[in-house]
């Protein structure tokens, strides 16, 4: 018995054929599961130079080893693919209920290849699978897609991972949505759309049982006790991700395309403001935290709007970039992005980028379809989001993301694209938090906060050693620690928030993984750290094979040349060269090329990646 199904479903949409695989024992031992499996499969099965939108790109859906059990916050879904936004390795995760349902349906993972002739969806149920016509679903938003597929299958308990119009229409930052949770970043939805795969529906009744039930139950108790005892966790359960108060008080809430660090009237969009609009709490499978919030607008221009969320990043995406704190818009725009199926961060940031271009005169009303983009005026945001999702008008340019849009507009525009490797920065100004910035600069998927969240600099945890957010020293070491810990914990696809508020120790994580899967080595914390580092380096080698290197670990020049003008982070810049070098050294990578050294690769069992 194990929480693993030992069953991977492979579907080739070009030929409408299926096959199955079981696990390679060595891979299980070396990569544990979750992100480890995804990184390994993507590295092994993708040729360098693969077109992200071509037949050969893969879309790999992975449920964590413990998904479907009562291990807390372990039931997330991770999707792996070569990104049409970054051109590199990508991973994106979603909460909700899809991964457990995949396990109940009999599988640990699904590998999708090829391009269907006509729109289809994949139906996986109780060990069986089939492709079904999605012609009538093509063009529908994510919400209607859920409703109609559940009806068609005569089972309201079916769980879906699906795309909306944004994915179908080739928005480069279209995501994959399950109920109202999203694997939002990096364009997985665009890959899915290119494959003409509207959805993967799962349903099953096969129980997931731990190898050592007693040890597993005991570890869950330890985990739950930590959740209950930890004030940060209790607080997180209350407010969810709404941390605009923290980041504004630290002066690192990005405003007007990352030119300022404090949003005027930010109190209008912080936790207490959302609490007043909260209809109820929402949670994911087997997570006692229920950090989600169903919010509702009752008055003003957006009266009637509601959403699940917005999470902090989405709140920011529709306030900071426009320089206006309008809670109604954050709720309406968040829901619109959920319905259309696209990433709020890149959507909001790309619109904010256009605001600056307009201000600088690099675009005019001729480009925008006649509208004026002016900071403090957010009236066109909803319309622009619709235009993006349907690639209409000015939205057709914005649907490319900021750096591609900039390249179309000419060299001068490029420096205003606030992104790394093509992925737009989230809601943390790196000048106010150097480990945050260093992670954004070096993450394998571009400027992703969740790849190595510098919680120390915002919340003071987790704490491997004392940290000053402005300090440059030891930030390489800290970032490596954050990134490797994340990679380690994401073998279980535990929610990234958990370590931020100290909800789990590596020991408890290891106990759960070992007792669940029946592999004793997984309880060895030192080994877990090795696996975390291995995964991070393997992802790096995927990108190296694609031609990535130190030239891609670069922040937009603004952060090195302009200081923050006001607030508690006033006067700071982001010392990117110093930080990068420190990081490479901590990583054992070549300080010039940013390529992992042979010794490091051999130490990590990644010698097979050398010279590829």
Q: Can residue 139 be called a binding residue for a copy of itself (CB under 8 A)?
A: yes
Least distance between a copy of itself and beta carbon 91 (Å): 28
Q: In terms of CB distance, is 21 or 152 closer to a copy of itself?
A: 152
Collapsing DSSP to helix, strand or coil, 146 comes out as helix
Choices 250-258, 291-299, 372-380, 573-581 (CB under 8 A): range interacting with a copy of itself = 291-299
Query: Can you state the percent helix, strand and coil of the chain, rounding each to 5?
Result: 45, 15, 45
Give dist(CA 425, CA 448) in Å, integer: 7
Least distance between a copy of itself and beta carbon 586 (Å): 45
Of 526, 542, 551, residue with least CA distance to 601: 542
Q: Can residue 229 be called a binding residue for a copy of itself (CB under 8 A)?
A: no
Q: Can residue 304 be called a binding residue for a copy of itself (CB under 8 A)?
A: yes
Choices 20-28, 137-145, 239-247, 425-433 (CB under 8 A): range interacting with a copy of itself = 137-145
Q: Of 296, 392, 581, 598, which lies in the binding site for a copy of itself, with binding defined by CB under 8 A? A: 296
| Count of residues in the chain | 612
Structure tokens at 160: 């879906």
Least distance between a copy of itself and beta carbon 387 (Å): 15
Contact letters (x/-) for a copy of itself, 377-396, by CB under 8 A? --------------------
Least distance between a copy of itself and beta carbon 365 (Å): 25
The count of chain residues that interact with a copy of itself, using the rule CB under 8 A, is 24
Choices 303-311, 345-353, 424-432, 449-457 (CB under 8 A): range interacting with a copy of itself = 303-311
Q: Of 136, 372, 471, 565, which lies in the binding site for a copy of itself, with binding defined by CB under 8 A? A: 136
Q: What one-character DSSP code corresponds to residue 425?
A: P
Give dist(CA 261, CA 428) in Å, integer: 9
Contact 131, 122 (CB under 8 A): yes
Span 242-281, contacts to a copy of itself by CB under 8 A: 279-280
Q: In terms of CB distance, is 341 or 426 closer to a copy of itself?
A: 341
User: Is the backbone peptide bond immediately before 236 cis, with ω within 30 degrees of 0?
Assistant: no
Q: Of 140, 197, 263, 389, which lies in the binding site for a copy of itself, with binding defined by CB under 8 A? A: 140
Give dist(CA 305, CA 45) in Å, integer: 44
Q: Can residue 152 be called a binding residue for a copy of itself (CB under 8 A)?
A: yes
In this structure, the strands spanning 8-12 and 109-113 are parallel
Q: Can residue 288 be called a binding residue for a copy of itself (CB under 8 A)?
A: no
Q: Of 2, 50, 147, 505, which lies in the binding site for a copy of itself, with binding defined by CB under 8 A? A: 147
Q: Can residue 118 be called a binding residue for a copy of itself (CB under 8 A)?
A: no
Bridge partner residues of 200 (DSSP): 122, 161
Least distance between a copy of itself and beta carbon 304 (Å): 4
Q: What one-character DSSP code corresponds to residue 446?
A: S
Q: For residue 551, what are the contacts with CB-CB under 8 A and spacing of at least 6?
A: none
Q: In terms of CB distance, is 297 or 420 closer to a copy of itself?
A: 297
Q: In terms of CB distance, is 12 or 143 closer to a copy of itself?
A: 143
Collapsing DSSP to helix, strand or coil, 528 comes out as helix
Helices and strands in the chain, H and E counts: 27, 17
Q: In terms of CB distance, is 143 or 590 closer to a copy of itself?
A: 143
Q: For residue 89, what are the contacts with CB-CB under 8 A and spacing of at least 6?
A: 39, 42, 43, 80, 82, 83, 444, 445, 539, 542, 543, 546
Span 44-83, contacts to a copy of itself by CB under 8 A: none
Q: Can residue 608 be called a binding residue for a copy of itself (CB under 8 A)?
A: no
Give dist(CA 579, CA 349) in Å, integer: 25
Least distance between a copy of itself and beta carbon 133 (Å): 9
Q: In terms of CB distance, is 140 or 403 closer to a copy of itself?
A: 140
Q: How many Cα atoms within 13 Å fall on the side-chain side of residue 286?
A: 24
Structure tokens at 148: 């109609």
Q: Of 55, 143, 383, 521, which lies in the binding site for a copy of itself, with binding defined by CB under 8 A? A: 143
Span 155-174, contacts to a copy of itself by CB under 8 A: 156-157, 165
Choices 55-63, 144-152, 325-333, 580-588 (CB under 8 A): range interacting with a copy of itself = 144-152
Q: Of 150, 374, 392, 581, which lies in the binding site for a copy of itself, with binding defined by CB under 8 A? A: 150
Least distance between a copy of itself and beta carbon 139 (Å): 4
Q: In terms of CB distance, is 153 or 249 closer to a copy of itself?
A: 153
Cα-based distances in Å from 15 to 10, 114, 122, 131, 573: 12, 8, 14, 11, 53
Continuous segment of H or E residues that includes residue 515: helix 506-517
Give dist(CA 493, CA 65) in Å, integer: 8
Choices 149-157, 226-234, 440-448, 524-532 (CB under 8 A): range interacting with a copy of itself = 149-157
Of 104, 163, 106, 122, residue with least CA distance to 11: 122
Least distance between a copy of itself and beta carbon 145 (Å): 11
Give dist(CA 60, CA 197) in Å, integer: 13
Choices 90-98, 117-125, 133-141, 445-453 (CB under 8 A): range interacting with a copy of itself = 133-141
Least distance between a copy of itself and beta carbon 110 (Å): 23
Q: In terms of CB distance, is 165 or 503 closer to a copy of itself?
A: 165
Least distance between a copy of itself and beta carbon 136 (Å): 3
Contact 195, 114 (CB under 8 A): yes
Least distance between a copy of itself and beta carbon 152 (Å): 6
What does 533-602 look like in DSSP terms, one character per residue?
HHHHHHHHHHHHHTT--GGGS---THHHH----SSTTTT----HHHHHHHHHHHHTB-TTT-PBPHHHHH
Choices 89-97, 134-142, 508-516, 569-577 (CB under 8 A): range interacting with a copy of itself = 134-142
Collapsing DSSP to helix, strand or coil, 361 comes out as coil
Q: In terms of CB distance, is 136 or 608 closer to a copy of itself?
A: 136
Continuous segment of H or E residues that includes residue 16: none
Contact 490, 35 (CB under 8 A): yes
Choices 86-94, 112-120, 300-308, 346-354 (CB under 8 A): range interacting with a copy of itself = 300-308
Give dist(CA 438, CA 158) in Å, integer: 41
Q: How many CB atoms lie within 10 A of CB 5?
A: 23
Collapsing DSSP to helix, strand or coil, 240 comes out as coil
Task: Note the residues at the interface with a copy of itself (CB under 8 A).
Answer: 135-137, 139-140, 143-144, 147-148, 150-152, 156-157, 165, 279-280, 282, 294, 296, 298, 303-304, 306
């Amino acid at each position: 018995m194990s929480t693993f199904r030992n069953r991977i479903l492979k579907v080739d949409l070009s030929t409408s054929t299926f096959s199955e695989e079981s696990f390679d024992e060595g891979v299980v031992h070396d990569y544990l599961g979750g992100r480890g499996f995804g990184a390994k499969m993507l590295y092994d099965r993708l040729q360098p130079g693969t077109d992200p939108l071509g037949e050969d790109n893969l879309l790999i859906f992975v449920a964590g080893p413990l998904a479907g059990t009562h291990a807390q916050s372990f039931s997330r879904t991770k999707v792996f693919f070569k990104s049409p936004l970054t051109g590199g390795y990508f991973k994106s995760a979603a909460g909700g209920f899809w991964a457990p349902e995949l396990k109940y349906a009999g599988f640990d993972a699904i590998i999708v290849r090829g391009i269907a002739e006509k729109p289809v969806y994949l139906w996986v149920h109780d060990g069986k699978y089939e492709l079904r016509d999605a012609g009538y679903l093509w063009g529908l938003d994510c919400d209607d897609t859920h409703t109609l597929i559940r009806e068609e299958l005569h089972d309201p308990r079916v769980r879906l991972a699906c795309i909306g119009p944004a994915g179908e229409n080739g928005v480069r930052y279209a995501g994959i949505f399950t109920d109202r949770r999203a694997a939002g970043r990096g364009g997985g939805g665009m890959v899915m759309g290119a494959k003409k795969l509207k959805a993967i529906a799962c349903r099953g009744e096969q129980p997931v049982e731990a190898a050592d039930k007693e040890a597993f139950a005991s570890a869950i108790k330890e985990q739950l006790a930590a959740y209950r005892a930890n004030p940060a966790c209790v607080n997180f359960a209350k407010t969810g991700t709404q941390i605009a108060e923290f980041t504004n008080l630290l002066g690192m809430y990005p405003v007007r395309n990352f030119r300022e660090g404090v949003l005027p009237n930010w109190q209008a969009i912080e936790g207490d403001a959302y609490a007043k609009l909260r209809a109820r709490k929402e949670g994911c499978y087997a997570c006692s935290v229920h950090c989600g919030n169903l919010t509702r607008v009752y008055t003003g221009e957006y009266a009637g709007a509601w959403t699940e969320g917005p999470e902090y990043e989405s709140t920011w995406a529709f306030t900071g970039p426009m320089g206006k704190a309008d809670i109604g818009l954050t709720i309406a725009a968040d829901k619109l992005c959920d319905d259309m199926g696209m990433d709020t961060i890149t959507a909001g940031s790309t619109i904010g980028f256009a605001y600056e271009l307009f201000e600088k005169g690099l675009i005019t009303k001729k480009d925008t379809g006649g509208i004026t983009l002016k900071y403090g005026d957010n009236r066109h945001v909803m319309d622009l989001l619709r235009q993006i999702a349907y690639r209409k008008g000015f939205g057709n340019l914005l649907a490319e993301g900021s750096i591609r849009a900039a390249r179309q507009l000419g060299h001068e525009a490029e420096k205003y694209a606030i992104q790394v490797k093509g992925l737009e920065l989230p809601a943390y100004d790196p000048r106010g938090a150097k480990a945050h910035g260093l992670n954004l600069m070096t993450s394998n998927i571009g400027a992703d906060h969740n790849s190595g969240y510098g919680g120390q600099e915002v919340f003071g945890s987790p704490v491997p050693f004392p940290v000053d957010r402005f300090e440059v020293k030891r930030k390489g070491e800290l970032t490596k620690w954050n990134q490797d810990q994340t990679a380690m914990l994401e073998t279980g696809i535990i929610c990234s928030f958990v370590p931020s508020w100290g909800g789990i120790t590596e020991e408890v994580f290891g106990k759960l993984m070992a007792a669940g899967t029946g592999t004793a080595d997984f309880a060895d914390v030192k080994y877990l750290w090795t696996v975390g580092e291995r995964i991070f380096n393997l992802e790096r080698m995927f990108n190296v094979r694609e031609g990535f290197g130190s030239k891609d670990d670069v922040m937009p020049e603004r952060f090195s040349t302009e200081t923050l003008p006001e607030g508690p982070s006033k006067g700071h810049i982001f010392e990117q060269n110093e930080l990068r070098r420190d990081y490479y050294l901590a990583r054992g990578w070549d300080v010039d090329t940013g390529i992992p050294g042979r010794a490091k690769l051999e130490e990590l069992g990644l010698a097979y990646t050398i010279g590829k």
